Amino acid sequence: MERDVIEDQTQPLLARGTRLIADKATGQPVLLFPEGAVHLSETAHAILSRCDGKSSFKSIITSLADEFNADEAGVRKDVEECLAELHRRKLIVLS
């Protein structure tokens, strides 16, 4: 499978009609979109909560690495995989 490369200056944003909510029954994070919903892991929620169209890919990585006291290279891989998959599903925009 070909791996998408996201540039450091890219500013991810939730796609139009897509929003983050907490499931009313469980309190777990959910990504809602017109055709359905995706229940999110804690990691995916932490990533997507930073996708505001203003924060760069690099700043999201740095913020997560600092918050979770983690290695930036490992965080970069996780964030890139998450965003690439959501972009393929047209749930985020990479600008």
Chain segment 18-58, per-residue pLDDT in tens: 999 999 999 999 999 999 999 999 999 999 999 999 999 99
CA trace torsion 42, 58, 31, 1 (10° rounding): -90
Write down the pLDDT at residue 1.
37
Write down the pLDDT at residue 4.
64
Q: Which residues pair with 39 in a beta bridge?
A: 30
Average pLDDT over residues 44-73: 97
Domains and CATH numbers, the chain: 12-94 (1.10.10.1150)
Residue count of the chain: 95
Task: Pull the structure tokens for residue 18.
Answer: 């897509």
Strands, E assignment, the chain: 12-14, 19-22, 29-33, 36-39, 92-94
pTM (predicted TM-score): 0.91
